[in-house]
Structure 1
């Protein structure tokens, strides 16, 4: 039996999705607070940093506590850690709402809706923790040393049979986020031009933060379902071709995305400029999926339900190539 290791590096990786979501929600809270409740003022940077740091500290503490609980329960599956991450992120969000660790409270009827993003990010974070931390064998109970009796030492588990890339829901979810993440990088190249259009620099800074956040959410809503379908198709095509390496998945993803963008360009020529970015995005999606999916043994053939024992013969058996004759009276 194995347990997930305790790793600060894995905890840091698990906090990345939560950090992005918390930053997006805080940016919208700042923008909404300035436009609606306090048009003349902007929250002090110290207050913003304190609230953001407090939220991330709560998230980190809850994730670590959930990891310790799963170790006590000797649970190490990816599903268990993803579920733990979602529960802990939802609990952290509830504590923040109850204790006003936020710039602005969600509007009436939106508390649960706003909590979905941290919950999903927490599930991805829990999955990332289990991926980056690695596994370690459970310590044996006190007793004679295995070296004292080599005959009782169990051989290490190895497998040299055929393998294939797993179908991973979490891997698909992470890969499906890449179009939104990469599209969010575009507004940063235009920020100097956008900020020059505002006379008030405080307003310019807020919009400089809001525009990438808005781009991320809009692209997330638009692209997550098509990207999920694309990733599932890519995975099954690569599996049918017998490809297993990350480079092969990246090449197949880039070629498939380029072909899709090229087909769209025939219908709308203006979309031709997206062919190269689409190929890059597809390659990143394929490589990321392969990184987080892992391998599994090829399943054994399905058992055959037979009612006639005489039919249990091979394909090359003579009875398969000729028919018996029954002479009728």
Structure 2
């Protein structure tokens, strides 16, 4: 029996999706307050306190969920993903109940807004289980200790048969966010120009935070489904070619993205400038998927259900190439 390890480093890495989502939602809240009530916009220190409070709650609940799964001896990636989603939803509910946020969601949007942190929490739970690693539980082997102390312990289980890359929904979700992340980095190059164009520097800082957040949300809605479909196709192409290494996945992803961009450029010539960025993004997506998907044994052939024993002959058997004859009276 194996359990997921306690790892502060994995916990910090797992909090990255929740940190991004909370930052985006907080930027929208600040922008909304700037439009509705500019005088009531909180100071930067207060915004930082709210943000830190949300992250502390997220970290505490995520680690509490991990501790519960350890007590129940559950270490599957699916369980950790579901645990992360539940804990993120609980954190969102606590923040609303105790007003640990800049503004309350509007009427009829409480559940809708809560879906984004819940999905981010599922990714965070999966990442924790991935980065923390597994350790064998004490006394979980079930084997009787040898009578002679000089006897060597049993060797660990090993496998040297054929393997293939797993089909991972969580891996595809992580890879599908990469176009959104890369597109969000672009507005940051325009921040000096943006802040220079405003006479009021406080307004400039707010818009400098809102524009990347708006880009993130727009790209997330636009690109996540096509990116998942693209990554699924790349994965099955790589599996059909029996490619398992990360650099092989990256090469296939880059070529596939370049080909897709080339097809679009034939229709819209202006898109030709995106060929190289698309190839780079495809390579990163495929490499990320390979990193988080893992490998599994190649399944055995399906069992044959036979009703005629005479049909159980090989493909090269003479009876496959000629017909038997029964002479009738």
Q: Give the TM-score normalised by structure 1.
A: 0.96
| Counterpart residue number, 2:191 | 191
Matched, 1:169 2:169: yes
Structure 2 partner of 1:9: 9
Residue in 2 that maps onto 1:89: 88
2:189 is paired with a residue of what secondary structure? helix
User: 1: CA distance between counterparts of 2:168 and 2:123?
Assistant: 12
Residue 301 (1) aligns with residue 301 (2): yes
Deviation at 1:42, TM superposition (A): 3.3
Question: How big is the shift at 1:145?
Answer: 5.7
Q: 1:81 to 1:146 in 2, by over 3 A?
A: farther
The corresponding residue for 2:30 is 30
Equivalent residue, structure 1, for 2:76: 77
Task: Report the counterpart of residue 233 of structure 1 in structure 2.
Answer: 233
Q: 1:246-285 counterparts in 2 under 5 A? A: 246-285=246-285
Change in Cα spacing, 1:112 to 1:276, as seen in structure 2 (3 Å) is same
CA distance in 2, matches of 1:143, 1:194: 67
Q: CA RMSD in A?
A: 1.7
- CA 1:149–1:310 in 2, change beyond 3 Å: closer, same or farther? farther
Residues 2-32 of structure 1: CA distance to partner in whole angstroms, max 9, x if unpaired? 0000000100011000000000000011110
Does residue 289 of structure 1 match 2:301?
A: no
Distance 1:290 1:181 in 2: 18
Note the C-alpha offset of 1:148. Answer: 4.1
How many residue pairs match? The answer is 328
Structure 2 residues without counterparts, runs of 5 or longer: none
Alpha-carbon distance change, 213 to 322 in structure 1, aligned in 2, over 3 angstroms? same
Residue of structure 1 in register with 2:320 after alignment: 320
Once the two structures are overlaid, the 10-residue window that deviates more, 134-143 or 183-192, is 134-143
Separation in 2 of the partners of 1:287 and 1:146?
45
Please list every run of 5 or more consecutive structure 1 residues that lacks an aligned counterpart in the other structure. Answer: none
Instruction: Name the CA distance, whole Å, in 1 between partners of 2:273 and 2:143.
Output: 68
Q: Secondary structure at the match of 1:159?
A: coil
Deviation of the 1:97 alpha carbon: 0.3
For the 8 Å contact 1:131–1:292, the answer to whether it is kept is yes
Describe the superposition over 1:172-216 as per-residue Cα deviations: whole angstroms up to 9, x where unpaired: 000000111100011011111122221111101000000000000
Question: Which piece of structure 1 moves more, 25-34 or 40-49?
Answer: 40-49
Can you list the C-alpha shifts for 1:294-318, whole angstroms capped at 9, x where unaligned?
0000000001111100000111222
How much does 1:150 deviate?
6.2
List structure 1 runs of 4+ shifted beyond 6 angstroms: 141-144
Answer whether contact 1:42 1:202 (CA < 8 A) is retained: no
